[in-house]
Amino acid sequence: MAASRNINFTTDDFKLIDRGSQDIEYLVAEGPSLSYWREAWCRLKMNRRALLSLFTILFLLLFTWVGPWVWTLDPARQDLVQISRAPHLGISALVVDDNFNWSGVIADNELTVNHRHVESLSVEVINNEEVIDNSVLSDDASYSEGLAAPSNLRVVDKPNTEYVRLTWQPVVGAARYLVYRNERQPESATDLGVPLWETDTARDVSYQDRLKLEAITYYYSVVATDGLNESNHYAVIQVDVQQAITFSDAVYSEVLPPEASKLDSIGRMVELQAHPLGTDYLGRDMLSRLMLGARISLFIGIVAPFLYLAFGIIYGSVAGFFGGLLDEWMMRFADFVIALPFLLFMILFKVSFGIGPGESGVIPMLVAMIVLSWPSMARLARGQVLQLREQPYIEAAKLFGASSWHMVFRHMLPNMLSVILVSLTFAIPAAIFTEAFLSFIGMGVVPPTPSWGSMSHDGMKTLMTHPHELIFPALFISITVLAFNILGDGLRDALDVRIRE
């Protein structure tokens, strides 16, 4: 085979092959040896699954480069009205005033209540909040068990996701009050839910809740305390919260036109920005972040593994092929590199590249990954070469006087390919997550630039409460990895002359 290197190409050699199997049979059986890679390509084209994965990869590239032209939402825009929102295609919301400053209600003394601050807000009591029980007593209520429950717990203004305003009557003997919030009706004094607040004094008989309000039903409870012990008696109120958006947020997120007048807009219903894949922990659109994030992830996930695997293969092949002392030294150097502490040298790379604060460290990250990650591939390649070079066909090629390069690249590499491809497909997610970890500790991409890896990294923390923040980026990583795996399998089969259906 090696002897017949001076081949005269004819135009026939470059003719497109028919899809008919006969031609392929012909090619495989009698074609010139140089068309090996072409033959493989023909076979790959016949593998529907492999083609599908090839298209998937093309789709991902389109998704990241063309996607932002179609879905034009700014991936850095924070919509604090919609934090960690599950996928939706539009929610209507009430426009409310931006000014939440509510000085609340201060009791003059323990028995009378004075609405000290009555600016623009009405102090009328909304009637649609049903007061369930104003003084639930525990099983064996007696005076010694604590202070009475505050009476007349009620909501001031229309409760919405921007604020819920509560006020109540003072309790004789109370030092302070505690405000709780639950998502289901409390069953006992130990089941009041989230402790939101403890008032400063006994005269503070109101509270404005703004804590991550959702458009659901809440049960607010107020308990008096003598300063040391909480009373067993509590007042509870059911509050249905309506989705709202402040006027300035509405203008900012373009659900109201910029020229909209504040007076006319307040009280109107508007449609909130749709987020087909939901939003993240700062209310940023997941879809546009995934589109943008694909760039970094695909770049790091594909370029880094290709480069370091290529280097590892060459390194390992050379070591394995020539053997002897060279092999020994080269492999010991590889051991040395594996053992270096990755994080420490990552920091060093960043420092030595002179990457300033807030500047993207993608290139030093890439270099560091290549410099520090190749040895395992080198070991694998060396092992394969050691195994392969004892094969009879290599001996045969040697006898024919084939050059070392020829033997490595023409005979050994195709046979090593399956193992290399496995490593490659595993190196992709590894690189994506390494990027995420390094970005997290400030070594890689700088915020607000997203990447799939860092998105899943962030999503992990809300796995139970907002799973979509993990699922979507993880899905995209999985699709990429799957595509490369199947493509790899297809490639392997295509290159394996021995497997024939």
Partner 1 sequence: MLISARLYLQSSLLIPLIISGLTSKAILFIMLYSMMNSEVLAGLAINSAQRSIAIAIADEPPDLSSLTTTDSLSIMILGHVVEGLVGYDAHNQLSPAVAERWQIDDKGATFWLRKSARWSDGKPVTAHDFIFAWQTALAPKTGAAYASILYPIRNAEAINKGKMPVDKLGVVAKDDHTLVVSFEKPTPYFLGLTAFVTYAPIRRDFYMKHANSYGAEAEKILYNGPFVIDEWVHGASLQLKKNPHYWRRAQVKLDTIDIPYITSDPGARYNLFKAGSIAFAGLNAEVLKDALKNRYKIRRFVDGVLFFLEFNHRPNRITANLNLRRAIQAVLDPDVLVNKVIGIPGNIPGKSLFPKWLKGVHQQFRVEYPAKEVERDYDLARHYLAQAKQELGLESIPPLVFLTGDSPNASKEAEYFQRVLKRHLGIDLKIDKQIFKQRLARMKAGSFDIVSAGWGPDFDDPITFGNLFASWNENNHGQYRNSEYDRWVAVAENTIEPQRRMAAMAEMQRILIDEVALVPLYERGTIYLQHERLKGVARRIFGGDPYFGFAYIE
Partner 2 sequence: MLHYLMKRLAFGVLTIWFIATATFVGMHAVPGDPLMSDKAVSPEIRKHLEQRYGLDKPIMQQYQIYIMNMLKGDFGISFTQQNRRVNDIIAEHFPVSALLGVLAIGYATLGGIMLGAITSLYRNRWPDYLLIVFVVLGISIPSFVFASIGQLMILKVNAWLGFQLLPVAGWGSISHMIVPSLILGLGILAYLTRLMRSSMLEVIHADYIRTARAKGLSSQRIFYRHQLRNAVLPVITVLGPAIAAITTGGFVVELIFAIPGLGRYFVQAVQQLDYTVIMGTTVFYGAFLVLMVTLADLLYGLIDPRIRIQKVA
CA distances from 328 to 99, 332, 333, 334, 379 (A): 73, 6, 9, 10, 12
Select from partner 2, partner 1, none the partner in contact with residue 482, using the beta carbon and a kind-dependent cut-off of 5 to 8 Å: partner 2
Scanning residues 433 to 462, which ones bind partner 1 (CB under 8 A)? Answer: 440-442, 446-448, 458, 461-462
Neighbouring CB atoms inside 10 A of 432's CB total 27
Closest to partner 2 by CB, 156 or 495: 495
Neighbouring CB atoms inside 10 A of 33's CB total 12
Burial of 144 (0-12, 13-18, 19+ CB in 10 A): exposed
Extract the tokens encoding 262.
Answer: 């504040």
Give the span between the Cα atoms of 451 and 428, in whole angstroms.
14
Choose the binding region for partner 1 from 28-36, 114-122, 206-214, 303-311 (rule: CB under 8 A).
206-214
Please give the helix or strand (H or E) that residue 404 lies within, else none: helix 404-406
Give the span between the Cα atoms of 33 and 310, in whole angstroms.
24
Question: Is the separation of the CB atoms in 77 and 136 below 8 Å?
Answer: no
Extract the tokens encoding 72.
Answer: 């034009």
Shortest separation between residue 450's beta carbon and partner 2, angstroms? 16
Q: Per-residue string for binding with partner 1, 142-181, x by CB under 8 A?
A: ----------------------------------------
164 phi/psi in degrees, rounded to 5: -125, 125
| 228 scored as a contact of partner 1 (CB under 8 A) | yes
- Interacting residue ranges for partner 2, rule: CB under 8 A: 323, 328, 332, 335-336, 338-341, 343-345, 347-348, 351, 375-376, 379-380, 382-384, 386-387, 390-392, 415, 418-419, 421-423, 425-426, 429-430, 433, 441, 456-457, 460, 463, 470, 474, 477-478, 480-482, 485-486, 489, 492, 496, 498-499
Closest to partner 2 by CB, 129 or 458: 458
Q: How far is CA 64 from the centre of its chain?
A: 15
Shortest separation between residue 247's beta carbon and partner 1, angstroms? 13
Give the span between the Cα atoms of 414 and 210, in whole angstroms.
64
Select from partner 2, partner 1, none the partner in contact with residue 87, using the beta carbon and a kind-dependent cut-off of 5 to 8 Å: none
Shortest separation between residue 253's beta carbon and partner 1, angstroms? 11
Of 18, 108, 187, 335, the residue at the interface with partner 1 (CB under 8 A) is 187
Q: Minimal CA–CA distance to 189: which of 235, 130, 147, 144?
A: 235
| 80 scored as a contact of partner 1 (CB under 8 A) | yes
Choose the binding region for partner 1 from 113-121, 164-172, 198-206, 379-387 (rule: CB under 8 A).
198-206
Select from partner 1, partner 2, none the partner in contact with residue 184, using the beta carbon and a kind-dependent cut-off of 5 to 8 Å: partner 1
Q: At what angle do helices 362-388 and 324-339 cross, to 10 degrees?
A: 140
Q: Minimal CA–CA distance to 90: which of 216, 245, 263?
A: 245
Select from partner 1, partner 2, none the partner in contact with residue 196, using the beta carbon and a kind-dependent cut-off of 5 to 8 Å: partner 1
| 348 scored as a contact of partner 1 (CB under 8 A) | no
| 49 scored as a contact of partner 1 (CB under 8 A) | no
Shortest separation between residue 365's beta carbon and partner 2, angstroms? 16
Strands 92-96 and 244-246: parallel
Shortest separation between residue 493's beta carbon and partner 1, angstroms? 14
Choose the binding region for partner 1 from 78-86, 378-386, 402-410, 421-429 (rule: CB under 8 A).
78-86
Torsion of CA 16, 19, 24, 26, to 10 degrees: -80
Three-state SS letters, 342-364 = HHHHHHHHHHHCCCCCCCCCHHH
Give the span between the Cα atoms of 432 and 15, in whole angstroms.
40
Choose the binding region for partner 1 from 5-13, 112-120, 356-364, 402-410 (rule: CB under 8 A).
356-364
Extract the tokens encoding 491.
Answer: 């490639």
Select from partner 2, partner 1, none the partner in contact with residue 328, using the beta carbon and a kind-dependent cut-off of 5 to 8 Å: partner 2
Closest to partner 2 by CB, 304 or 474: 474
Long-range contacts at 44-49 (CB < 8 A, ≥ 24 apart): 44/490, 44/491, 44/494, 46/19, 47/490, 47/493, 47/494, 49/486, 49/489, 49/490
Shortest separation between residue 434's beta carbon and partner 1, angstroms? 15
| 191 scored as a contact of partner 1 (CB under 8 A) | yes
Select from partner 2, partner 1, none the partner in contact with residue 485, using the beta carbon and a kind-dependent cut-off of 5 to 8 Å: partner 2
Closest to partner 2 by CB, 205 or 377: 377
Give the span between the Cα atoms of 126 and 435, in whole angstroms.
53
Closest to partner 1 by CB, 132 or 386: 132
Scanning residues 236 to 275, which ones bind partner 1 (CB under 8 A)? Answer: 252
Closest to partner 2 by CB, 159 or 364: 364
How many residues of this chain bind partner 1 (CB under 8 A)?
44
